[in-house]
Amino acid sequence: MTKYYQKKYLTMLVLLLSMMAHSAWAQTIKGEITDTNKNPLIGASVVEKGTTNGSITDFNGQFNLNLSDGANSVLVISFVGYIDQEIKVGNQSNFNVILQEDIAELEELVVIGYGTQKKKNISGAIAAVDAKALEGRPVADFANALQGQIAGLQVVGESGQPGEETTIRVRGTGTINGGSNPLIVIDNVIMTNGQGISSINPADIESVNVLKDASAAAIYGARAANGVIIVTTKRGKASDAPTVGFNFFAGVQSASKKLDMLNSEQYRDVMNAARDNAGMPRIPNLDKPLQHDTDWQDAVLRPAAINNYEVTFSGGNAKTRYFGSVNHYDEGGIIMNSGFKRTSARLNTDTQLGRLKIGTSMFYSQNNRDNQFATGTGDAGDLGALRWALASSPNVEIYNPNNLGGFNGHQIADGDREILNPVAAQTLVEDIKQINRFLANAFAEIEIIEGLTYRLNAGADISNTHDRMWAPEFDQGNGVMPPGLPFGAQLDEQRSNYQALLLENTLNFKRKIGKHDFGLLAGHSVQNTASAFQSISVIGGNLSPEYPVIDGSPNINGIPKGNIFETRTISYLGRAIYDYDSKYLATVNFRRDGSSMFTKGNMFDNFFSASAGWNISNEDFFNVQEINELKLRGSWGFLGNDQIDANATRSVVNNNPRYVFNGGELAQGVAPSPQIGNPNLVWEKQEQMNVGVDLLAFNNKLSFTADYFVKTSRDLLLSYSLPEATGFGNMFLNAAAVQNRGWEFATNYNTKVGAVNLNIGGNITFLKNEVLELIDGLEAIERDRSSHFTFRNRIEPGQSLFAIYGFKHDGIYQSQDEIDAGPTPMEGQPTKPGDVRYVDVNGDGKITDEDRTFIGDGNQDIMYGFNFGGNYKNLDFGLQFQGVYGNEVFNESSYEYSGYVRSFNMTTDVLDAWTPTNPSNTRHRHIPATEANNKVASSYWVEDASYIRLKNVQIGYTFNDHQLDKISWLKGLRVYVSAQNLFTISDYSGYDPAVVFGAVSSQLLYPTPRSFVGGVNIKF
């Protein structure tokens, strides 16, 4: 063998021995990685430190890895949202690793418009709540559950009707004729169709973020003046093993309060006294022995069941995540045969393909609302069953099998008019609204280069609504058709379709250079909306319970209606965010919006904001150990409001006129509408200023936030009445300016006392609403706020938008000498002892319209909420209180049911009425409203509507892992009980002081219920 080959073989032998030695020292390991709940973390990274040698966990959270350095190796284990771990291998070959959540990382991100931002670096006013704030609440919409939980957020239910939309205000009302509800964005879909939040399953929601100032909201431009609420629904996590959940609650609800109404004897005595005092004949059926004693209020109100069933499924790994739910919610109404049912389904997905991220959010719901029937006939007619129940004579029985339909009713002999039997209406008449709604969002996001991301977002909001009212023929005695249904059988059908399509393109650039952190956003958005509406009513003919269809009668009731409407909004948007070393913060937003609702010259406008912040606690000179974070921030900017009358800029035609030809032939025509268009209208604009401070202290146990804000709304749209000589009725003008200013404070404290973890929190808002100016030549605006009585609202500079205007009362006249002493009573009916005495405000010696003044303010001066909760081992508990202070309300129930209106029944308050032997100074004498001047709008009917309410109580028990070990297929179990609206403390005498904004109580529509439920949450 030559030396060359000897050398070659020797080299190969050395290499072979080296490989064998390396193989002898190599080590293969395996293991499982889970979270603290023993859920496998799918896609977790396991890397041999100092090398590129690594692996990721599989579907079961397990991994295998061949080590290059054997026992000397160190494993670096990491997963997004969890704290990294380093483990020295040593002699181990099987590892069970539990990763802890990185709480700081999870909590510091806040959802803002078109992105997220670290909470500590936010310079705007944003409030956020998570899913825990909504859990276990038996509510149809999430806004109701937020009441009292966020400073500056006013939430009022327009009635207790199940499924009724909630009225929401962010930092007050800043418009007159425009819409005042905030913009709601759900999973990047901008909601425009009357919000429709009762369609959304509250249990699907992961977080709710309220953008309150210009800096936070200006990225939404012309839609942001009323604030922005961003709702993010739940999504799967990369660490989630497949999980199935079942959530259920059931309970009962009932009226939280009833009015004390007169019984038959009391009603007879009071009504006879009133008629006698007026010199009027007595009501026939009250001038003879009484026959009945019916409690109509009890007959209409009832306990009602409420239940909810939900199945969820979720899971994910490093590439794909998903969350889905199917829900059925069924809430019976406390007014008989009313209620709300919602069936919904959701599927959210996320997929990561290298640099490309794709996601979808799809949601479908069907709402069925069984309304209380309302006829729209005026007086007690158009407010439904409860109104009729309170008005009906207790001397009238409910049922009469001899009448068609089997019911009796309030006849002329029982009073001065007929009243529809509310039990008959709720039993025989069907009034159902069905809404099918589909919300969808899909996005594709790609990282073009490091830090630069392009995102395409498409959204759709599609719904169709069907309102159907079917009333069979029935009578209430003497063969007379009931009020509101004078033609016998009647069928009303109304259908509407709505579609909103959204397309957005955005570029987002993030880069950190040393201590400088930059974020830039640029985008384009376009949204098209289209709606169609049709309605028809038929009567008589062959309509019957067996044939309740439009074809059942050729007799059309009124005029069929229909319309089609389309709008388009185009927007260009941009944002720049900067912070230096997390100390000095700045944000600038810009949006240019164009809307087809305005004429060409006024179609586009610009909206912008700027904010700055200073994290004082990050400064080197700051050395206060008790304070973890201290930040000052301020913002300023302009926003807009596009919630205006769609035809405000246009003159439209009226298709109701009828023309007579050839001596009697009737033909339909058109004529100019009473409203004349104003092509010069511009956007309602709002200037906002906000300064605030954020504090975290005592190892993050205490949080505190304070804000001072000023919102000035200008160019407000006003429907202005025109002189009759013009031939038109009204036109819209940019005619007013309104300001809302105030303070907000919110705090929360977490501590531990022994084995008990406690949480105490609260918030309070001080709000001043003021009209600043009206258009030149306009001193004030007076408008009726009810079709049932003469209550008026006066809008005048220096006053609130909700100022109550009328006469100021000063007790009750006790004698004729008091009357003769002056001032001269108002003209109309004669004033006698026992009547209301009014103040001569202008001092001219007589009571006239010139003596009307401001007698109350419906603005809520102070809104507050506080909560107390905690847990002891597996037991958790929570209390939430909520209330308002400083607002007055015109008490509708007192006005109509202690004011001797027609022959309506009344509350027992009238038993304390003035008589010569009972010289009351609080209740006027028994006298019909038409025979005295007691029924004018005055402070006599105005009450303080301040209240405090125990909004929610909840107690729960969560079974721990040890308790569930024997049930291998069960991952989690919690049971709980809760109560809503447990009690209310208030001087208000009506059903509920929590009334709709505008200073008039509307709870005669539908009282607020009190509910008790029990529930269970199960994870498989």
Let me know if 568 is exposed, middle or buried by CB neighbors in 10 A (0-12, 13-18, 19+).
Answer: middle
Mean predicted confidence (pLDDT) in 394-422 = 92
Are the C-beta atoms of 217 and 246 separated by less than 8 Å? no
If DSSP codes are grouped into helix, strand and coil, which group holds residue 71?
Answer: helix
CA dist., res. 496 & res. 531, Å (int): 7
What integer pLDDT is reported at residue 554 of this predicted model?
A: 93
Please give the pLDDT value at position 998: 63
Which of 578, 589, 584, 576 lies closest to 613, judged by CA? Answer: 584
Task: Measure the CA dihedral 545/547/550/553, to 10°.
Answer: -90
Q: Please give the Cα distance from 386 to 647 (Å, whole number).
A: 35
What is the pLDDT of the chain when averaged over all its residues? 88
Give the integer Cα–Cα distance in Å for 869 and 188: 33
Which pLDDT value is given to residue 984? 95
Q: List the one residue out of 170, 168, 179, 128 whose CA is nearest residue 144.
A: 168
pLDDT, residue 25, reads: 44
pTM (2 decimals)? 0.87
Q: Report the percentage of the chain scoring pLDDT > 90.
A: 59
The pLDDT tens digits of the residues spanning 205-250 come to: 999 999 999 998 889 988 889 999 999 999 998 766 788 999 999 9
Cross-strand partners of 110: 117
Separation CA 429–CA 375 (nearest Å): 11
The strand order across the sheet containing 205-211 reads 126-130, 205-211, 228-233, 183-186, 189-191
Whether 285 shows a pLDDT value over 90: the answer reads yes
Check whether 2 has a pLDDT greater than 60: no
pLDDT for residue 656: 67
3-state DSSP: the chain helix, strand, coil percent, rounded to 5?
15, 50, 40
Greatest Cα pair distance, the chain, in angstroms, is 147
Give per-residue burial for 594-627: e unless 16+ CB within 10 Å, then b: bbbbbeeebbbbebbbbbbbbbbbbeeeeeeeee
- In this structure, what are the phi and psi dihedrals at residue 222, rounded to the nearest 5 degrees? -70, -5
Buried residues in 131-162 as b, exposed as e (16+ CB within 10 A): bebbbbbbbbbbbbbbbbbbbbbbbbbbbbbb
User: How many C-alpha atoms does 378 have within 13 Å on its Cβ side?
Assistant: 5
The pLDDT, as a whole number, for residue 5 is 42
From the list 491, 442, 488, 449, the residue with the least C-alpha distance to 466 is: 491
What pLDDT does 997 receive?
63
Eight-state DSSP code of residue 289: -
Cross-strand bridge partners of residue 755: none
Residue 292 has pLDDT above 80, yes or no: yes
Residue 653 has pLDDT above 60, yes or no: yes
CB atoms within 10 A of CB 31: 21
d(CA 148, CA 980): 13
Per-residue pLDDT reduced to its tens digit, 957-1008: 999 888 888 887 888 999 999 999 999 999 999 888 886 666 666 556 788 8
Q: What is the spatial distance between Cα 362 and Cα 185, in angstroms, rounded to a whole number?
A: 14
Residue by residue, DSSP assigns 692-742 as: EEEEEETTTTEEEEEEEEEEEEEEEEEEEEPPGGGT--EEEEEEEEEEEEE
Going along 514-583, which residue ranges are E strands? 516-539, 561-580
* Token duo for residue 384: 């439904």
Which value, to the nearest 10 degrees, does the dihedral of the CA atoms of residues 939, 940, 942, 945 take? 130
Residue 682, pLDDT score: 86
pLDDT of residue 647: 78
Average pLDDT (841-859) is 93
77, 69 in Cβ contact below 8 A?
A: no
Q: What is the pLDDT of residues 431-486, one digit of tens each?
A: 999 999 999 999 999 999 989 999 999 999 999 999 999 999 999 987 778 888 88
Cα 369 → chain centroid = 17
The whole-number pLDDT of residue 664 equals 65
Angle, alpha carbons 726-730-735 (nearest 5°): 115
Q: What is the pLDDT of residue 586?
A: 96
Cis preceding-peptide flag for 823 (omega within 30 of 0): yes
Burial class of residue 414 (count of CB atoms within 10 Å of its CB; 0-12, 13-18, 19+):
buried
Can you tell me the distance from the alpha carbon of 4 to that of 15, in angstroms, rounded to the nearest whole number? 17
- The whole-number average pLDDT for the span 489-512 is 95
Tokens of 299: 């007959």
Both tokens assigned to 850: 């010139």
Tell me phi and psi for residue 683, to 5 degrees: -60, 145
pLDDT-above-70 percentage for the chain: 92
Question: Would you state the pLDDT for residue 957?
Answer: 95
Residue 958: per-residue pLDDT = 93
- Beta pairing, strands 875-885 & 947-958: antiparallel
Is 948 within 8 Å of 984 (Cβ atoms)? yes
Give the model's pLDDT for residue 478. 78
Task: Kindly calculate the radius of gyration of the chain based on its CA atoms and give it in whole angstroms.
Answer: 34
Residues near 150 by beta carbon (within 8 Å), at least 6 away in sequence: 127, 129, 210, 746, 763
Q: Are strands 604-615 and 584-595 parallel, antiparallel or unpaired?
A: antiparallel
Q: Is 468 helix (H, G, I), strand (E, B) or coil?
A: strand
**Cα–Cα distance for residue pair 151/210, rounded to 1 Å:** 10
pLDDT of residue 1000: 65
Report the distance separating Cα 940 and Cα 491, nearest Å: 42
| Calpha distance 1002→384 (Å, rounded) | 12
Contact 835, 935 (CB under 8 A): no
Beta strands (DSSP E) in 274-354 are 304-316, 320-332, 339-353
SS3 958: strand
Least confident interval from 421-430, 800-809, 881-890, 891-900: 891-900
Query: Do 104 and 65 touch, CB atoms closer than 8 A?
Result: no
Best CA proximity match to 152, nearest among 695, 709, 664: 709
Q: Provide mean pLDDT across the span 164-174.
A: 88
Would you say how long the chain is, in residues?
Answer: 1020
Mean pLDDT of 618-633: 94
Which pLDDT score is estimated for 18? 42
**pLDDT score, position 659:** 72
Non-local CB neighbours of 480 within 8 Å, separated by 6+ positions:
411, 418
What number is the average pLDDT over the span 154-167? 82
Residue 144 phi/psi, 5-degree rounding, is -60, -35
Distance CA 1002, CA 985 (A): 19
Q: State the DSSP code for 988.
A: -
Residue 423: in which H helix or E strand, if any?
A: helix 422-428
Question: Which contiguous run of DSSP H or E holds residue 24?
Answer: helix 3-25
**pLDDT reading at 89 higher than 70:** yes
For residue 107, pLDDT beyond 80: no
- Please state, in angstroms and rounded to a whole number, the distance separating the CA atoms of residues 926 and 920: 12
**So what's the pLDDT on residue 355?**
87
Residue with tokens 């007169």: 262
CB neighbourhood size of 1017 (10 A): 21
pLDDT of residue 9: 45
Would you say 508 and 545 are in contact if contact means Cβ atoms under 8 Å apart?
no
Residue 193: its pLDDT value, please? 60
Q: Average pLDDT in the 767-773 region?
A: 95
Q: Which residues are CB-contacts of 683 (< 8 A; sequence separation ≥ 6)?
A: 222, 595, 598, 602, 605, 640, 641, 642, 715
Lowest mean pLDDT among 103-107, 133-137, 200-204, 931-935: 103-107
Q: 1-17: string of b/e by CB count within 10 Å (b at 16+)?
A: eeeeeeeeeeeeeeeee
- Asked if 923 and 910 count as a contact pair (C-beta separation under 8 A), the reply is yes
Comparing CA positions, the residue from 89, 93, 90, 85 lying closest to residue 41 is: 85
Mean pLDDT, residues 718-727 taken together: 78
Predicted local confidence at residue 319, as pLDDT: 85
In the predicted structure, residue 15 carries a pLDDT above the cut 50 = no
Q: For residue 663, how many C-alpha atoms fall within 13 Å in the half-sphere facing its CB?
A: 0
pLDDT at 106 over 70: no
**How buried is residue 478: exposed, middle or buried, by Cβ count under 10 Å (0-12/13-18/19+)?**
exposed
